[in-house]
A and B are shown apart, each in its own frame.
Chain A
Amino acid sequence: MKKRLLALVMAGALTLGLLAGCGNDGGGKTGGETSPSPSASTPASPSASTPAEPSAPVEPSAPVEPSSAASGTFKIGGVGPLTGDAAIYGQAAMNGAQIAVDEINALGGAVQFEFKPEDDVADGETSVNAYNNLMDWGMQALVGPVTTGAAISVSAKLYEERVFGLTPSASSTDVISGKDNVYQVCFTDPNQGVASADYISENLAGSKVAVIYRNDDAYSQGIRDTFVKQAESKGLEVVYEGTFTKDTQTDFSVQLTGAQSAGATVLFLPIYYQPASVILNQANQMGYAPTFFGVDGMDGILTMEGFDTSLAEGVMLLTPFSADAEDAQTQSFVAKYQEKHGETPNQFAADGYDAVYIIYAALNAAGCTGDMSAEEICEALVGVMTSISVDGLTGQGMTWSATGEVSKAPRAVVIKDGVYVTP
């Protein structure tokens, strides 16, 4: 008994050596909550007429008083999962932010940024630790956290301690509600559900909709809730709803058969691209071909390894950013990102990039100086956030309400010949 116990304990400890090696890896392993709720943004028109100069995108074309532009060196912190299951999101956002910082510093203007990303493994507890660590470093404004659960924990601290926070991609309303100094670059989950329902009822009128969503995931559940509510008020007919969980996301034949026999012509998938790829594959085998409609979680399906992109032909999705967009601003960003990191940036990278430019624009509008404390900068930025307008990769003319929600035009794209095209 004792020997066996010891053996078990040792085995457990060794396992931990691997697991906890990642610093209380609370990681997404367990699904739901870590929900790296991807930026809930709706597509922004990347086909914009932005100047070729990559650093020009952010011009506070706002009715802000022509206050003296900001000057000095600002310390910007970043918090996101750089390791663990959700690392792909955090790394992209932080890489994007770093590119924006480098661009601004290369301008040689009065404003210089110091940027320090910290890892939070998408866990609230570690995220607060990372935030405190950055405060020790002397952070004056925060880009992050990237994931929703972590962002809710940190935003409470931000509010308490009056530090300005701008999250690239934490899309839940809980992140910003009741906090006047926390803003989002991405759309909120509810907005995404509403925008999807609006889009389908306007452009695919008279269609019968089936929804397949993951009910142990806050992101998926949140979009589904608002989608169904909005669909009802728009007179859109939802004929079938199928659910799955983290453990059952490898087989969807039951849900697909249900949707097919209910006569659904549009299949709404507020889920991530990994399970969506399985759905597309199985629907193809069944010979069931409705219009697939995804949200930003679908972004990434074209670059997924081992996935036949011809299956995604005709899939519609709401996404804020497309690396294939033709405008100079996107092109220049994608080129830089590929050169530096050897891969095509996803929307998180674009969100992170935009976040830095938004802070840059706000600092300029408020005329902050580098020697101001985090608290002073926070109050100054809160004063101008509602009046600035920023043209970024994820949206033209982004403006913010006092609640912290972004307002930008939602837009859908359709996949054609392996790239996103505006329908």
Chain B
Amino acid sequence: MKKNMGRLGRLKKTTKVDFATYLGVTAAFIVVSMLRDQGVLTRSLTGMLVPICCYIVMAVSLNLTVGILGELSLGHAGFMSVGAFTGVITAMSLQSAIPFAPVRLAVAMIVGALFAGVAGLIVGVPVLRLRGDYLAIVTLAFGEIIKELINCLLVGYDAKGLHIAFNISGSLTIDDLNMAEGGIAIIKGAQGATGTTTIASFGAGFVLIMLSLVIILNLVRSRSGRAIMALRDNRIAAESVGINITKYKLMAFITSAALAGAAGALYGLNYSNLAASKFDFNTSILVLVYVVLGGLGNIWGSIIAAAVLYILPEALREFSDYRMLVYAIVLILVMLATNNPTIKGLFARLREKLTRGRKAEAKGGGR
């Protein structure tokens, strides 16, 4: 027993925090699943489980770009959009090929992640070579461009395969895809994807969260992760010791984009209707707020912030129209509480007292 304690004590603090994060997420998943199975959970909460998972993955992945890489991205919802629509197309067209829904969902998420990753590469390669806040501006534009592009997209699927038309003139309709009998329209331009078979599940959301945690935490604690953080802290110093700036920036940015794509695919397959305008600037900012309130670079903080801030507006429905006011006040209070020097000092002193007490105890025990 003592030996074990010793080994645990010898672990680095960051490692302990990482394991606590994994453990916390798993415990939360088990508790929530049990509550749901016993019917204790309200329907409103049950309905929010999948979107919460999606937003957690969004927040965690954005934290990689904003908190750990130190670049501001204002178009994270754009990657989610790419993932969502490619995921929906994949899942809908594989309906007969893969009848087993969980496998189809997994394939859709992988495809969504791939496409979002490619989009991240396209955006990242030219922009991440620059210094300054260009990434913020370009990702902002990227989000808007993706929205407009998907508004022009017509996609259908029939026995012959996928039919895709690009409706720039606005005069095409789904009939112009010339689909064979029995074909299904998957994306109808401005209407977005309608009639999607919803196959997303809370279990899949949990697996996705765990996967993104494993990927991001391992990346951050690895040699590459230290290079990425060195870039954030002092670019010139990092460059002078021979760190390839573009490579490491791209690594973080593409990982972040791909995870957002997978989250998007899960999100898209949770609703039977999905329009491109859902993934607008507001959604990007919403996720950014989860990250900022959870703490930049703080992964478990993002998880908690995303879950709490997603449930909050729904929980405030009691207040009807005043709920926006209350929500805004809560946001401001959280900002104050986490950034106020007095409160921070209070926490620091508390922690100091605790650790000192423990050390004294340990010393006492040693004698």
Max count, chain B CB within 10 A of own CB: residue among A24, A35, A150, A155:
A24
Within 8 A of A (CB), among B308-333: 313-314, 316-317, 320-321, 323-325, 327-328, 331-332
Chain B: minimal CB distance from A301 (Å)? 23
Q: Evaluate contact between A128 and B271: CB separation under 8 angstroms.
A: yes
Task: Give the contacting residue for A29; candidates B74, B192, B282; CB below 8 A.
Answer: B282
Measured in the bound complex, the distance between the Cα atoms of B317 and A144 in whole Å is 18
B208 CB within 8 Å of chain A: no
B283 CB within 8 Å of chain A: yes
Q: Evaluate contact between A128 and B292: CB separation under 8 angstroms.
A: no
Q: Evaluate contact between B47 and A12: CB separation under 8 angstroms.
A: no
Q: Evaluate contact between B171 and A174: CB separation under 8 angstroms.
A: no
If A30-B277, A174-B273, A215-B170 touch, whether A136 touches B324 (CB-CB below 8 Å) is no
If A83-B324, A128-B47, A225-B173 touch, whether A20 touches B285 (CB-CB below 8 Å) is yes
**What are the residues of chain B within 8 A of A135 when measuring CB–CB?**
43-44
Interface residues on A, range: 35 or more
**What are the residues of chain A within 8 A of B317 when measuring CB–CB?**
118-119, 130, 133
**What are the residues of chain B within 8 A of A222 when measuring CB–CB?**
191
Closest A residue by C-beta to B194: A174
**What are the residues of chain A within 8 A of B292 when measuring CB–CB?**
9-10, 12-13
Contact bitstring B129-154, A, C-beta under 8 A = 1, else 0: 00111001000000000011001000
**What are the residues of chain B within 8 A of A13 when measuring CB–CB?**
285, 288-289, 292-293, 331, 335
Q: Evaluate contact between B72 and A221: CB separation under 8 angstroms.
A: no
**What are the residues of chain A within 8 A of B194 when measuring CB–CB?**
152, 172, 174
Q: Evaluate contact between B190 and A18: CB separation under 8 angstroms.
A: no
Within 8 A of B (CB), among A1-29: 1-2, 4-5, 8-10, 12-13, 15-27, 29
Task: Give the contacting residue for B72; candidates A9, A16, A30, A148; CB below 8 A.
Answer: A9
If A20-B285, A133-B44 touch, whether A31 touches B271 (CB-CB below 8 Å) is no
A153 CB within 8 Å of chain B: yes
Task: Give the contacting residue for A21; candidates B280, B288, B324; CB below 8 A.
Answer: B324
A289 CB within 8 Å of chain B: no
**What are the residues of chain A within 8 A of B316 when measuring CB–CB?**
23
Chain A interface mostly: helix
**What are the residues of chain A within 8 A of B190 when measuring CB–CB?**
32-33, 35, 215-218, 221
**What are the residues of chain B within 8 A of A216 when measuring CB–CB?**
148, 151, 170, 190
**What are the residues of chain B within 8 A of A133 when measuring CB–CB?**
43-44, 314, 317
Chain B: minimal CB distance from A120 (Å)? 11
**What are the residues of chain A within 8 A of B324 when measuring CB–CB?**
21-23, 83
Measured in the bound complex, the distance between the Cα atoms of B286 and A123 in whole Å is 15
A250 CB within 8 Å of chain B: no
Q: Evaluate contact between B328 and A8: CB separation under 8 angstroms.
A: no
**What are the residues of chain A within 8 A of B43 when measuring CB–CB?**
132-133, 135-136
Task: Give the contacting residue for B276; candidates A4, A9, A33, A130; CB below 8 A.
Answer: A33
Chain A: minimal CB distance from B139 (Å)? 12
Measured in the bound complex, the distance between the Cα atoms of B365 and A34 in whole Å is 66
B51 CB within 8 Å of chain A: yes
B278 CB within 8 Å of chain A: yes
Interface residues on B, range: 35 or more
Q: Evaluate contact between A149 and B275: CB separation under 8 angstroms.
A: yes
**What are the residues of chain B within 8 A of A149 when measuring CB–CB?**
191-192, 273, 275
**What are the residues of chain A within 8 A of B188 when measuring CB–CB?**
218
A129 CB within 8 Å of chain B: yes
A414 CB within 8 Å of chain B: no
Measured in the bound complex, the distance between the Cα atoms of B293 and A129 in whole Å is 23
Q: Evaluate contact between B321 and A82: CB separation under 8 angstroms.
A: yes
B201 CB within 8 Å of chain A: no
**What are the residues of chain B within 8 A of A313 when measuring CB–CB?**
none
Task: Give the contacting residue for A153; candidates B72, B170, B273, B335; CB below 8 A.
Answer: B273
A243 CB within 8 Å of chain B: yes
**What are the residues of chain A within 8 A of B286 when measuring CB–CB?**
16, 20, 24
A241 CB within 8 Å of chain B: yes
Contact bitstring A279-296, B, C-beta under 8 A = 1, else 0: 000000000000000000
Closest A residue by C-beta to B74: A12
Max count, chain A CB within 10 A of own CB: residue among B188, B277, B316:
B277
Q: Evaluate contact between A16 and B285: CB separation under 8 angstroms.
A: yes
Measured in the bound complex, the distance between the Cα atoms of B188 and A177 in whole Å is 15
Measured in the bound complex, the distance between the Cα atoms of B68 and A5 in whole Å is 13
Measured in the bound complex, the distance between the Cα atoms of B314 and A124 in whole Å is 14
Closest A residue by C-beta to B293: A13
Measured in the bound complex, the distance between the Cα atoms of B309 and A17 in whole Å is 12
Measured in the bound complex, the distance between the Cα atoms of B274 and A153 in whole Å is 8
Q: Evaluate contact between A23 and B323: CB separation under 8 angstroms.
A: yes
**What are the residues of chain B within 8 A of A178 when measuring CB–CB?**
195
Given A32-B275, A33-B276, 7 further pairs, Cβ under 8 A: A1-B132, A22-B324, A24-B313, A32-B191, A125-B271, A132-B47, A177-B195
8 sample A-B contacts, Cβ–Cβ < 8 Å, listed by A number: A1-B235, A13-B293, A13-B331, A35-B190, A119-B317, A129-B48, A131-B47, A136-B44
Q: Which residues of A contact B (CB under 8 A)?
A: 1-2, 4-5, 8-10, 12-13, 15-27, 29-35, 82-83, 118-119, 123-125, 128-133, 135-136, 148-150, 152-153, 155-156, 172, 174, 177-178, 215-218, 221-222, 225, 241, 243
Q: Which residues of B contact A (CB under 8 A)?
A: 42-44, 46-48, 51, 66, 70, 72, 74, 131-133, 136, 147-148, 151, 169-171, 173, 188-192, 194-195, 198, 235, 271-278, 280, 282-283, 285-286, 288-289, 292-293, 296, 313-314, 316-317, 320-321, 323-325, 327-328, 331-332, 335
Shortest 9 CB-CB contacts between residues of A and residues of B: A215-B170, A33-B275, A23-B313, A152-B273, A156-B272, A30-B277, A132-B47, A32-B190, A218-B191
